[in-house]
């Protein structure tokens, strides 16, 4: 514990800063703790801001977890809101503070300094209008809310298909607006891969929300109380939309200018470089939260992953370190979850983009599982993708899109990754079961079974992106083992139909000199068919995710449902 009274200054009073201050006081009654926040509010729930805009959270006060007065009463911390730290004077261990109400600038000394300035929203400087917004803090949200409440808004464009962008789109939709989402890449949610995101795309479009992928804003003009937005694709103008408002949600960048001006080490992205004890290049200065670079827990490589959970943990670690407790930050795993209308999307660990960037030898599987026992009313399906190391089965990441039960499955896999379990270990997990909650073989267990079969050579798989090449080959047989009715209702070109229940009696129809690539609806019957084929001398492969996944990626757009804003 802290041996002598220290003066500790904290810059930033939201997630990381407030967490550090509270932990410091719990560990030391003698420390002098001063927290500076340039805004009006401390300890507010950033993640709840879009839901306040849409009215699902009706009172702004619900977003404010602590006030300067309550923080003083509970933790005896001197909280100074509307006070901006404008410089760090490392030589004499002081900071320069500007009182934003009076304009006065004064010095404050420190023994230890904690930087928690967070991140700032990215908004192109060339676009300026009272109808253009970002959402990062309560004043941003108040501005959007007031605009919606005082103007007759009918249409909004959301630029950016990340977490804040999709949450904001949903809430504006629920408020009665027509919404267009613009995303520069080929899919929403960078934590997902394209194939998993396709289910999300279809769900968004089913609500009547227009989704413009691989589009960027080229120009914005204002005329007669409207914004005219031109979009380009491959450097050509392809769309023009007239809208009432635009919200930029294209990401955040570390708010690290204070640290950089003080000569602290930052990386190429501008994130403050810290050790596992959260110390900066100055041993008396710590940094936490969205402004810092972290280590990716899975790849063990430097990364920038701004999330509320890690920020709070880092605040606790800094307090421990200052008070003599040897806590260390082991890295950010990137576990995250999002509600997209009535769909739930969750991910943990790394995706394929990161796996490829790091040169990992990985494999992936796709499953389509029910949230609880299929015979019990109300079961819904979820699409699961798991990435694992090909040779060892080490779990690398998971992505799940569905409805009921997505959160708990992703949490189980997140815990398994943190525990460094292998993918086949999932098969052995003993998880709670009752028909309203799960199946005797939980989707997590099923993932373990599938991976175990691959690792032990019981099945070989191929993927949706392999199909096009296979369709051009004369040396393979493409086989669909669903029922004739399913096949007639839609199939992949080039696949012949032999139902799995007839397969044993029709093996003579197949050329034993050709590899056979099998599909069914979701992969289960395909696995059964490949086992039949392999044990009868054929070389067979099962399409992971089956026809359902292929259709999600390549099928026609989903028709919008009748609108319901409730």
pLDDT in tens, 236-265: 878 889 999 999 999 899 999 999 999 999
Q: What is the pLDDT of residue 295?
A: 96
In a domain, 149, yes or no: yes
* Exposed / middle / buried, residue 261 (Cβ in 10 Å: 0-12, 13-18, 19+): exposed
Please check whether residues 421 and 480 belong to one and the same domain: no
Q: Quick one: 160 and 220 in the same domain?
A: yes
Of 406, 436, 455, which residue sits at a domain end?
A: 455
In the predicted model, what is the mean pLDDT of residues 167-183? 93
Inform me whether the pLDDT recorded for 3 exceeds 70: no
pLDDT score of 324 more than 60: yes
Cα→Cα distances 517→503, 520, 551, Å: 14, 11, 17
pLDDT over 90 at 153, yes or no:
no
Same structural domain, 302 and 372? no
Lowest mean pLDDT among 223-227, 299-303, 539-543: 223-227
Separation between Cα atoms, residue 121 and residue 135, nearest integer Å = 7
Per residue in 16-49, pLDDT (tens digit) is 999 999 999 999 999 999 999 998 888 777 778 8
* 3 state DSSP class of 155: strand
Tell which wins on pLDDT, 140 or 228. 228
Number of domain units in the chain: 4
Judged by average pLDDT, the poorest of 4-18, 73-87, 185-199 is 4-18
Q: How does strand 395-402 pair with strand 476-480? A: unpaired
Show the DSSP H helices in 151-220 as ranges. 163-174, 194-206
Confidence (pLDDT) at 345: 98
Mean pLDDT of 271-287: 97
Residue 64 has a pLDDT of 75
At 154, which helix (H) or strand (E)?
none
pLDDT for 56 beyond 90 = no
Q: At what angle do helices 15-27 and 68-75 cross, to 10 degrees?
A: 20
Assign residue 185 the CATH number of its domain.
3.50.50.60
561 belongs to a structural domain: no
For residues 166 and 246, membership in a common domain is answered with yes
**Which pLDDT belongs to residue 474?**
94
CB atoms within 10 A of CB 357: 11
* Same domain, residue pair 435 and 474: no
Residues contacting residue 311 through CB under 8 Å, at least 6 positions apart: 15, 16, 19, 116, 288, 289, 290
Better-predicted residue by pLDDT, 123 or 382: 382
| Residues in the chain, overall count | 566
The confidence score (pLDDT) of residue 557 equals 73
1 domain-assigned: no
Where residue 128 falls (left for φ over 0; alpha for ψ -120 to 50; beta otherwise) is: beta
Instruction: Go through 79-110 and write b for each residue having 16 or more CB atoms within 10 A of its CB, e for each that does not.
Output: bbbebbbeebeeeebbbebbeeeeeeeeebeb
| Average pLDDT value for residue range 94-116 | 97
Q: Among the ranges 227-231, 240-244, 414-418, which has the highest mean pLDDT value?
A: 414-418
Do 353 and 305 lie in one domain? The reply is no
Does residue 84 share a domain with residue 27? yes
Q: Tell me which residue has tokens 């992928």.
A: 213
pLDDT, position 566: 47
Q: Do 390 and 439 fall within a single domain?
A: yes
Digit-coded pLDDT (tens) for 532-566: 999 999 999 999 999 999 999 998 777 777 666 54
**Does 136 lie in the same domain as 240?**
yes
Residue 278 and residue 183 share a domain: no
Residue 137 inside a domain? The answer is yes
Q: How far is it, in rounded angstroms, from Cα 325 to Cα 369?
A: 45
pLDDT of 502 above 90: yes
Q: What's the pLDDT at 15?
A: 85
Q: Is 47 a catalytic residue?
A: yes
Q: Which residues pair with 306 in a beta bridge?
A: none
Nearest to 220 by CA among 186, 252, 253, 247: 247
What's the distance, CA 471 to chain centroid? 34
46 backbone dihedrals φ, ψ, rounded to 5°: -55, -45
- Domain span at residue 294 reads 7-119+253-322
Q: Which two tokens stand for residue 271?
A: 């994130």
At which of 217, 250, 283 does a domain end?
250
Contact 331, 33 (CB under 8 A): no
DSSP 449-498: HHHHHHHTTS--EE-GGGHHHHHT-SSEEEEE-S-HHHHHT---TT-EE-
Across all residues in the chain, what is the average pLDDT? 93
The verdict on residue 336 lying in a domain is: no
Query: Is position 327 within any domain?
Result: no
Tell me which residue has tokens 């120009």. Answer: 219
Question: SS3 letters for 245-287?
Answer: EEEECCCEEECCHHHHHCCCCECCCCCECCCCCCECCCCCEEE
Where helices occur in 14-75 by DSSP H, the ranges are 15-27, 49-53, 68-75
Do 85 and 171 lie in one domain? The reply is no
Q: Which of 318, 286, 291, 287 is nearest to 304 (CA)?
A: 291
Q: Spot the catalytic one: 47, 323, 410, 432.
A: 47
How would residue 142 be classed by pLDDT, with cut points 50, 70 and 90?
Answer: confident
In the structure encoding, which two tokens stand for residue 480, read together? 């669909």
Q: Which residues contact 505 (CB under 8 A, 6 or more apart)?
A: none
Last residue of a domain, one of 194, 225, 250: 250
The span from the CA of 374 to the CA of 94, in Å, is 64
d(CA 265, CA 272): 6
331 domain-assigned: no
Write out pLDDT tens, residues 341-387: 999 999 999 999 999 999 999 999 999 999 999 999 999 999 999 99
Tell me 211's DSSP state: E
The pLDDT score that the predictor gives to residue 458 is 96
pLDDT at 233 over 60: yes
Question: What is the average per-residue pLDDT within 125-131?
Answer: 82
Nearest to 47 by CA among 150, 171, 156: 171
> Are 259 and 115 found together in one domain?
yes
On whether residue 503 sits in a domain, the answer given is yes
Compute CA distances 177 → 141, 154, 192, whole Å: 17, 5, 27
**pLDDT score recorded for residue 200:** 97
Neighbour count for residue 78 (Cβ, 10 Å):
14
């Amino acid at each position: 514990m802290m041996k002598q009274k220290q003066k500790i200054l904290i810059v930033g009073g939201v997630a990381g800063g407030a967490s550090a201050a509270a932990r410091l006081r719990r560990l030391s009654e003698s420390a002098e703790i001063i927290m500076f926040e340039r805004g009006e509010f401390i300890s507010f729930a950033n993640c709840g801001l879009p839901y306040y805009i849409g009215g699902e959270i009706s009172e702004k006060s619900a977003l404010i977890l602590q006030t300067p007065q309550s923080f003083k009463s509970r933790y005896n911390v001197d909280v100074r809101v509307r006070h901006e730290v404008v410089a760090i004077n490392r030589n004499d261990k002081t900071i320069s503070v500007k009182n934003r109400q009076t304009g006065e600038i004064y010095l404050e000394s420190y023994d230890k300094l904690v930087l928690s300035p967070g991140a700032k929203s990215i908004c192109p400087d060339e676009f300026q209008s009272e109808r253009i917004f970002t959402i990062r803090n309560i004043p941003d949200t108040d501005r959007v809310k007031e605009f919606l409440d005082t103007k007759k808004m009918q249409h909004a464009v959301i630029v950016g298909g990340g977490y804040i962008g999709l949450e904001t789109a949903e809430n504006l939709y629920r408020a009665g607006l027509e919404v267009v989402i613009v995303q520069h890449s080929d899919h929403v949610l960078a934590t997902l891969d394209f194939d998993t995101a396709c289910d999300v795309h279809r769900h968004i479009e089913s609500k009547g929300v227009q989704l413009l992928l691989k589009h960027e804003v080229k120009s914005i003009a204002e005329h007669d109380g409207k914004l005219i937005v031109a979009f380009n694709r491959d450097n050509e103008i392809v769309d023009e939309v007239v809208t009432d408002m635009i919200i930029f949600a294209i990401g955040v960048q570390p708010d690290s200018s204070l640290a950089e001006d003080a000569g602290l080490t930052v990386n190429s992205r501008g994130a403050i470089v810290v050790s596992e004890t959260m110390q900066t290049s100055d041993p008396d200065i710590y940094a936490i939260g969205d402004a810092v670079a972290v280590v990716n827990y899975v790849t063990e490589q430097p990364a920038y992953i701004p999330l509320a959970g890690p920020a709070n943990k880092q605040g606790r670690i800094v307090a421990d370190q200052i008070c003599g407790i040897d806590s260390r930050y082991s890295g950010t795993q990137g576990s995250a979850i999002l509600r997209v209308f009535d769909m739930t999307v969750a991910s943990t660990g790394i995706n394929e983009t990161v796996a490829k960037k790091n040169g990992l030898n990985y494999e992936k599987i796709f499953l389509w599982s029910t949230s609880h026992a299929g015979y019990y009313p109300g079961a819904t399906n979820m699409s699961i993708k798991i990435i694992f190391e090909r040779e060892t089965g080490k779990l690398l990441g998971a992505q799940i899109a569905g409805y009921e039960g997505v959160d708990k499955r992703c949490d189980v896999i997140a815990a398994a990754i943190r525990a460094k379990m292998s993918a086949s270990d999932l098969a052995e997990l003993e998880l709670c079961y009752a028909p309203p909650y799960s199946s005797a073989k939980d989707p997590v267990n099923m993932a373990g079974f599938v991976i175990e079969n691959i690792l032990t050579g019981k099945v070989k798989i191929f993927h949706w992106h392999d199909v096009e090449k296979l369709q051009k080959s004369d040396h393979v047989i493409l086989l669909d083992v669903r029922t004739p009715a399913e096949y007639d209702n839609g199939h992949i070109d080039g696949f012949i139909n032999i139902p799995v229940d007839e397969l044993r009696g029709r093996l003579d129809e197949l050329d034993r000199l050709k590899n056979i690539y099998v599909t069914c609806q979701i992969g289960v019957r395909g696995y059964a068919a490949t086992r039949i084929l392999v044990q009868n001398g054929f070389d067979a492969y099962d399409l992971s995710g089956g026809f359902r996944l292929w259709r999600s990626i390549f099928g026609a757009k989903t028709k919008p449902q009748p609108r319901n804003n409730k």
